[in-house]
Amino acid sequence: MTEYDYWKIFPRMPKKVAIGDITIRDGFQHEEKFISTAAKIFYGEEMILAGCRELEVTNLGNPAGIPQFRDAEQVLSHFRSERFLKRLEKAKINPADITYTAVTIREQAVDKAIELKAKGIGPDRILMMVSTDPEHHFANSGTTLTQYWKEAERCIKKAADVGIKMCGTVSTIWGSPITGATKLEDAVEFTKRWLSIGAFDIEHADHDGSASADQVYRYFSMILDAIPHPEVHLAHYHETKRMAAASVLAALQAGICRFEGTLGGLGGQPANFLDDCPVRGTGEYYYRDPRYVGLVTMEDLLVQIDEMGIEHGYNVDRVLWLGNKMERTIGRRLRSEAIYNGRTAKEGHMEFARPGLKKLIEKVGEQPGQKVPPDWTPQAVLPEKYR
């Protein structure tokens, strides 16, 4: 007999998930116009009020390379401000429940995070990143993997000394935009390496949309077999082929309970142009057309998980409202379908019903709710060859 209970078919699949928002950092880093400090603060605040408890705020790297985040200190300081704390109190949100993250790819940025922590405005969590492809890793960090692992080990220790957690990101798990195919086993080993040197949690990243659902399920099953602590693992997907929703489902089936996304599916490589001036970024874009890349769309991700009946803690309608606002901020149509089509309405859309059905039923003498002729059997009888 076929089993129809999804959670019995996939016993590791969670009934509650945590979804972080990384719009104002990862989402905005790919934009070729400067997003105002006010907009960054607005969307960060509103996502927290909508239910976000893990917010990626900024990048503390050298603003000469990524000038989108030249306002990093100002944005971070706002979320520690008395004004925002009062908003949280009014909304009955405990500030201690919110984790603020800053990206710190190199040690200089980690030192900046520590300096800001001493001022009382630093992040709770920082992020460093390795790629299983040495070429991709070099393009992002300018170091060999060996050099970087030693740097990360130092940074984890010094950050821990001041109460900052380190997220270790593993990238190019399902493939590299530079060298192509990679080995899942390498990413499992890199995950163990991060934890062995003191990382708090792991972001498992598909940074160029290479993942397919079967390989996502395989990889996260391998991860949870090796490290059976779902709360440690965070799934990060990019959307380049409209396959991220399938990857989300495959990760859920494997047992992953932490995800992240961006409003409108914004994001991609750091921009190499800002306003009217070329900037360094991470060099030339990997993609044929950088307009059609980004992360998994927060609005669509939430609708997908919400309609599966999985608890997530967000006000979905408020997030859809924010998605509409984001299109005006960015100035173009973004990638969310849910902000236009909404959620599946259980009550339907009776405004689209055609007039006259009730009168026709009465005219032909049918009973309300009748769906087949009255002289037919209550249940269909299949021909022998289909039984």
297 and 156 in a common domain: yes
What pLDDT is stored for residue 151 in this prediction? Answer: 98
> Is a pLDDT exceeding 80 seen at residue 290?
no
Identify whether residues 188 and 265 lie together within a single domain: yes
What integer pLDDT is reported at residue 287 of this predicted model? 80
Structurally, the chain folds into a number of domains equal to 2
* pLDDT over 70 percentage in the chain: 100
Task: Please tell me the predicted confidence (pLDDT) of residue 285.
Answer: 87
CA dihedral 131, 133, 135, 141 (to 10 degrees): 10
374 and 315 share one domain: no
**Would 349 be classed as within a structural domain?**
no
> What pLDDT is stored for residue 344 in this prediction?
85
Q: 311 in a domain, yes or no?
A: yes
Return d(Cα 37, Cα 39) in angstroms, integer. Answer: 5
Please tell me the predicted confidence (pLDDT) of residue 291.
79
Residue 355 is assigned to a structural domain of this protein: no
Same domain, 218 and 267: yes
Residue 105 backbone phi and psi in degrees, to 5:
-60, -35
94 with 136, same domain? yes
Q: What is the CATH number of the domain that holds 190?
A: 3.20.20.70
| pLDDT at residue 282 in the model | 84
pLDDT at 210 over 90: no
Task: Give the mean pLDDT of the chain.
Answer: 95
Residues paired with residue 180 on neighbouring β-strands, in sequence order: 176
pLDDT score, position 284: 87
In a domain, 108, yes or no: yes
Per-residue pLDDT of 192-206, as tens digits, reads 999 999 999 999 999
Q: Output the 3-class SS for the chain.
A: CCCCCHHHHCCCCCCECEEEECHHHHHHHHCCCCCCHHHHHHHHHHHHHCCCCEEEEEECCCCCCCHHHCCHHHHHHHCCCHHHHHHHHHCCCCHHHCEEEEECCCHHHHHHHHHHHHCCCCCCEEEEEEECCHHHHHHHHCCCHHHHHHHHHHHHHHHHHCCCEEEEEEECCCCECCCECCCHHHHHHHHHHHHHCCCCEEEEEECCCCCCHHHHHHHHHHHHHHCCCHHHEEEEEECCCCCHHHHHHHHHHHCCCEEEEEHHHCCCCCCCEECCEECCECECCCCCCHHHCCECEHHHHHHHHHHCCCECCCCHHHHHHHHHHHHHHHCCCCCCCHHHHCCCCCCCCHHHCCCCHHHHHHHHCCCCCCCCCCCCCCCCCCCHHHC
User: Does one domain contain both 139 and 257?
Assistant: yes
| Banded pLDDT at 360 (limits 50, 70, 90) | very high
Q: Establish if 353 belongs to a structural domain.
A: no
Vertex 141, ends 138 and 142: CA angle to 5°?
A: 60
248/379 same-domain check = no
Same domain for 375 and 238: no
73 falls within a domain: yes
Domain that holds residue 371: 360-386
Whether 283 has a pLDDT exceeding 90, the answer reads no
233-266: pLDDT as tens digits: 999 999 988 889 999 999 999 999 999 999 999 9
| 153 and 101 part of one domain | yes
What's the pLDDT tens digit per position in 46-89?
999 999 999 999 999 999 999 999 999 999 999 999 999 999 99
Do 366 and 315 share a domain, yes or no? Answer: no
- Same domain membership, residue 95 and residue 231: yes
Task: Give the pLDDT confidence score for residue 349 in this predicted structure.
Answer: 86
Buried b (16+ CB within 10 A) or exposed e, 32-47: bebbeeebbbebbbbb
More confident residue, 286 or 3: 3
Assigned token pair, 295: 């992360």
Predicted pLDDT of residue 47: 98
pLDDT at 185 over 80: yes
Residues 212 and 316 in one domain: yes
CB of 113 within 8 A of CB of 160?
Answer: no
Give the pLDDT band (50/70/90) at residue 279: very high
Q: Do 298 and 21 contact (CB within 8 A), yes or no? A: yes
The verdict on residue 347 lying in a domain is no
AA identity, residue 93? I
pLDDT, one tens digit per residue, over 120-165 is: 999 999 999 999 999 999 988 999 999 999 999 999 999 999 999 9
Q: Which pLDDT score, from 0 to 100, does residue 114 have?
A: 98
- Kindly state whether residue 346 falls inside one of the protein's structural domains: no
pLDDT, position 336? 95
User: What number is the average pLDDT over the span 303-331?
Assistant: 97
Strand 54-59 vs strand 99-103: parallel, antiparallel, or unpaired?
Answer: parallel
CB-based contacts of 341, cutoff 8 Å, min separation 6: none
Q: What is the mean pLDDT of residues 263-273?
A: 94
What is the phi-psi region of residue 168: left when phi exceeds 0, alpha when psi lies from -120 to 50, beta otherwise?
A: beta
